[in-house]
């Protein structure tokens, strides 16, 4: 009898079909841990990775930051103009493609789709413009019973006053039972919509609940604002744009929020401004608040929480604790008990500078974790100026003129933001390995300089509209900031024509989102202003979104040397492994390379990087993200580089991995375009060679 059972076992091993292992949600699962239990590709054979297939979307109109999902035998992804694709996971062959009615393009960064299934009803949910759409997962057809003919407005729960404000979503929603909880991306200027958290029914599109991140009278947190801020058209934001993690067993949604708007001056929103810059633990059924923690009080530095938190389990004194770990732009990791919100490592409120701009009232302290240690530098001195810069003396002179204390407030002379506006940690987020308790986070160490200026509030509406929607990226004189990826607009209308520029304003392009809510008259007035034409339309201060704000800013400006390298000494991009059981750093490497600098004998510096890593049971940490256009595999325990490959274009996106018909694949969106890299249009899959 034993012989028969042994024979049956081996027959089963070799002849029964191997069950697929999916990548069913954004970043791998509801815990957002970027983890896979697969080990077919491992430490011993990773050098055999080869390109298995490449799919061209035929769309190079913008960036692709999508983390594809594999569920129910199909790979789901998006193009640069947010067409939704279903591909064969083994070959990359297109199964279906959804385009909006009339083939209308929507140019905005998009990080993927959400998948939901109950019985035979399987759906893909995604966003374009200010709409959440539902598609049949097998056919790609609109589900007309969802919302209004297959779509529902992302403004639905924001109130009547906000129905024409800029509201989109770049990040897939969090699926909980038969609902989807949606991230929102808003304007960061005065006049932004409020970033309320909304839950929609996946089947009907009905609005389930709304959590107000700018509280109304009688609601928790109301006293942390000025009394009329919830009604004030100048004050908005406090939105969760980075994504949401779901604890299904506890029925909790963990929601990271960003800063209140306007980002860099809060004289009209005095107080700590709950629930901006918070991690919220919300009841996923009702939207009721269980607990919260605020990471930046009265934010005037754009210190949004940049990524969804990781739902982790750590060992503390021999006891397992379910926890939630949140990475930040500042380069910190905060770890909390998932049930109570109690910090698992000490957090101290430390005194910070409070001598801000006139009318500003800053918080006296900010919360700093004592462990783990920061994964990015927190300050620089003169000796930290880039030693290889050809204009180092100029950089040192500039350094002496700007404010550079940690949490130094925005200023007229310029304030160093370091780590920069994009982190530290960025939207790629962190990967967590449940086997070892290690958290892996890739980071930027790019300095930016924030310079404020007094506003002349007696402006015509076309100037106000330009300042609100355009100036932060393209400058107050249309000069742009090409080094930061923001092109000059000087002379664009004579070169391209008003119709072309109008279409870009409406639909967006590359990093720039579209502004479809602007009326034809508003678009025309913006274009008139860019051409230097006088406007017939005048408005008083009280009618403008900027109203009586005293200060604006001169745009997002990276601090670079004459050759375009960061003004600070390397590292400029890093990858760090942090033990969440002890708080200790296990290893750290520089991530990314400038070959021209290496050729000069300069050690590998690291580069700016966008998109996270994937960690596997097979012992690997796989990441692209860097501007040098490579994908790399590291030993997850030591940080040793095991394998790397050139990509057709830089992959500023998080990889996905899955097992399909017995074979493991890693898939990357290679769209390029960011950081001045060449554009691409392909999804590339890697697998072991035969």
- CATH code, domain with 539: 1.10.760.10
DSSP characters over 483-530:
GGTB---TTHHHHH-HHHHHHHHHHEETTEEP-TTS-HHHHHHHHHHH
What is the mean predicted confidence (pLDDT) over 113-125? 98
Top pLDDT among 456 and 599 is at: 599
What is the pLDDT, as a whole number, of residue 596? 98
Q: Is residue 231 part of a domain?
A: yes
Burial of 678 by CB count in 10 Å (0-12 exposed, 13-18 middle, 19+ buried)? exposed
In a domain, 484, yes or no: yes
Residue 497 domain flag: yes
Go through the chain and tell me how many residues it has: 690
Q: What is the pLDDT of residue 474?
A: 78
Interior CA angle at 171 toward 167 and 172, to 5°? Answer: 110
- What is the tally of structural domains in the chain? 2
Of 548, 563, 591, the residue at which a domain comes to its end is: 548
Please report whether residue 440 resides in a domain.
no
From residue 563, alpha-carbon distances to 180, 195, 257, 445, 486 in Å are 46, 39, 36, 17, 17
Domain range for residue 281? 154-304
Say if CB 553 and CB 405 are below 8 A apart.
no
pLDDT digits 0-9 by tens, 40-64: 999 999 999 999 999 999 999 889 9
Final residue of a structural domain among 269, 284, 304: 304
pLDDT of the residue at 542: 36
What pLDDT is recorded for position 460? 40
What mean pLDDT do residues 281-298 have? Answer: 98
To the nearest 10°, the Cα dihedral for 154, 159, 165, 167? -20
pLDDT at 277: 98
Is the model's pLDDT at 172 over the cut of 50?
yes
Reported as a single tens digit per residue, the pLDDT across 173-232 is: 999 999 999 999 999 998 899 999 999 999 999 999 999 999 999 999 999 999 999 999
Angle in degrees, CA 673, 679, 681, rounded to 5: 115
> Stretch 336-348: mean pLDDT, rounded?
98
Question: 575 to each of 33, 369, 373, 491, 543, how far by Cα in Å?
Answer: 16, 20, 14, 41, 48
Full-model pTM: 0.91
The gap from C-alpha 6 to its chain's centroid, in whole angstroms, comes to: 51
Given a cut of 90, whether residue 492 has pLDDT beyond it is no
CATH number for 285: 2.40.10.480
Q: Which among 548, 579, 595 is the end of a domain? A: 548
In this prediction, residue 478 has a pLDDT band, given cuts at 50, 70 and 90, of confident
What tens digit of pLDDT does each residue of 502-522 get?
Answer: 767 766 665 566 666 666 767
Q: Is residue 72 part of a domain?
A: no
- Look at residue 503 and tell me if it is in a domain: yes
Give the DSSP letter string of 48-69. GEEEEEEEE-S--SS------E
The first and second tokens of residue 283, run together, are 């009841």
Q: Is the pLDDT of residue 660 over 80?
A: yes
Query: Average of pLDDT values for 154-171?
Result: 96
160-181 in b/e form (b: 16+ CB < 10 A) is eebeebbbbbbbbbbbbeebbb
Within a domain: 88: no
Average pLDDT over residues 633-640: 98
- pLDDT higher than threshold 90 for residue 15: no
**626 occurs within a structural domain:** no
Percent over 70 (pLDDT), the chain: 88
Give the H/E segment covering residue 398: helix 392-401
pLDDT at 523: 77
In sequence order, the β-bridge partners of residue 133 are 126, 151
Structure token pair of residue 156: 């639905």
pLDDT of residue 404: 96
How many CB atoms lie under 10 A from the CB of residue 257? 27
Contact 266, 578 (CB under 8 A): no
Give pLDDT tens digits for 238-276: 999 999 999 999 999 999 999 999 999 999 999 999 999
Nearest Cα residue to 404 out of 353, 351, 472, 362: 353
Tell me the average pLDDT across 390-396: 98
Q: What is the pLDDT of residues 216-242, one digit of tens each?
A: 999 999 999 999 999 998 999 999 999
Q: Is the pLDDT of residue 9 over 90?
A: no
Q: Check residue 516 and give its pLDDT.
A: 63
The C-alpha atoms of residue 488 and residue 509 are separated, in whole angstroms, by: 14
User: In the chain, count of helices (H) and strands (E)?
Assistant: 8, 44
Indicate whether 538 pLDDT > 60.
Answer: no
Report pLDDT for 61: 87
Does 275 sit behind a cis peptide bond, omega within 30 degrees of 0 on the bond before it?
Answer: yes
User: What is the structure's pLDDT at 411?
Assistant: 98
Three-state helix/strand/coil letters over 13-41: HHHCCCCCECECCHHHCCCCCCEECCCCC
pLDDT tens-digit profile of 434-466? 999 999 999 999 999 999 999 875 444 446 567
């Amino acid at each position: 009898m034993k012989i028969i059972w042994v024979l049956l076992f081996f027959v089963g091993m070799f002849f029964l079909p191997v069950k697929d292992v999916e990548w069913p949600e954004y970043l791998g699962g509801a815990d957002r841990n970027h983890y896979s239990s697969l080990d077919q590709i491992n430490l011993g054979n990773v050098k055999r990775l080869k390109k298995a297939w490449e799919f061209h979307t035929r769309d190079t109109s913008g960036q692709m930051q999508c983390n594809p999902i594999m569920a129910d035998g199909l790979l789901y992804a998006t193009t640069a103009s947010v067409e939704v694709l279903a591909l064969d996971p083994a070959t990359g062959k297109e199964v279906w493609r959804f385009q909006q009615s009339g083939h209308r393009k929507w140019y905005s960064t998009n990080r993927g789709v959400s998948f939901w299934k109950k019985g035979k009803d399987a759906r893909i949910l995604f966003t374009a413009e200010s709409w959440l759409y539902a598609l049949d997962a097998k056919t790609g057809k609109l589900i007309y019973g969802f919302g209004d003919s297959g779509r529902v407005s992302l403004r639905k729960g924001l109130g009547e006053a906000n129905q024409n404000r800029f509201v989109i979503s770049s990040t897939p929603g969090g699926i909980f039972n038969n609902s989807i909880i949606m991230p929102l991306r808003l304007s960061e200027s005065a006049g932004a919509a409020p970033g309320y958290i909304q839950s929609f029914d996946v089947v009907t599109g009905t609005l389930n609940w709304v959590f107000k991140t700018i509280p109304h009278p009688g609601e928790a947190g109301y006293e942390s604002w000025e009394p009329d801020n919830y009604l004030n058209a100048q004050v908005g934001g406090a939105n969760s744009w980075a994504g949401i993690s779901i604890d299904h067993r506890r029925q909790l949604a963990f929601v990271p929020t960003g800063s209140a708007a306007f980002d860099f001056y809060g004289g009209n929103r005095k107080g700590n401004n709950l629930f901006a810059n918070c991690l919220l633990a919300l009841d996923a059924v009702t939207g009721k608040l269980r607990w919260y923690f605020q990471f930046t009080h009265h934010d005037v530095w754009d210190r949004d929480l940049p990524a969804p938190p990781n739902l982790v389990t750590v060992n503390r004194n021999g006891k397992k604790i379910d926890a939630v770990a949140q990475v930040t732009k500042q380069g910190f990791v905060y770890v909390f008990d998932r049930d109570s919100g109690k910090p698992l490592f000490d957090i101290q409120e430390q005194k910070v500078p409070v001598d801000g701009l006139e009318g500003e009232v800053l918080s006296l302290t900010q919360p700093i974790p004592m462990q783990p240690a920061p994964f990015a530098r927190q300050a620089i001195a003169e000796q930290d100026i880039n030693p290889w810069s050809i204009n180092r003396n100029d950089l040192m002179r500039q350094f002496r003129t700007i404010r550079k204390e940690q949490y130094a407030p925005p200023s007229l002379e310029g304030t160093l933001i370091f780590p920069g506006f994009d982190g530290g940690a960025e939207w790629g987020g962190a990967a967590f390995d449940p086997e070892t308790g290690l958290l892996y986070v890739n980071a930027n160490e790019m300095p930016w300089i924030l310079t404020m200026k007094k506003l002349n509030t007696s402006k015509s509406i076309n100037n106000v509209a330009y300042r609100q929607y355009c100036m932060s990226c393209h400058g107050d004189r249309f000069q742009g900031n090409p080094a930061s990826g923001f092109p000059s607009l000087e002379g664009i209308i004579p070169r391209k024509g008003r119709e072309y520029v109008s279409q870009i304003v409406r639909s967006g392009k590359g990093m720039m989102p579209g502004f479809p809510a602007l009326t034809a008259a508003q678009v025309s007035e913006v274009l008139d202003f860019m051409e230097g034409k006088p406007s017939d339309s005048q408005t008083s201060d009280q009618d403008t979104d900027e109203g009586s704000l005293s200060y604006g800013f001169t745009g997002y400006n990276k601090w670079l040397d004459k050759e375009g390298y960061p003004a600070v000494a390397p590292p400029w991009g890093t990858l760090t492994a942090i033990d969440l059981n002890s708080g200790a750093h296990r290893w750290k490497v520089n991530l990314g390379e400038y070959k021209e600098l290496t050729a000069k004998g300069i050690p590998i510096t690291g580069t700016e990087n966008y998109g996270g890593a994937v960690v596997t049971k097979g012992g690997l940490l796989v990441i692209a993200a860097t501007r040098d256009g490579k994908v790399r595999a590291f030993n997850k325990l030591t940080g040793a580089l095991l394998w790397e490959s050139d990509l057709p274009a830089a992959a500023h996106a998080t990889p996905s991995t899955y097992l399909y018909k017995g074979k493991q694949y890693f898939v990357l969106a290679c769209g390029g375009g960011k950081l001045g890299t060449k554009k691409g249009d392909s999804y590339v899959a890697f697998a072991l060679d035969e």
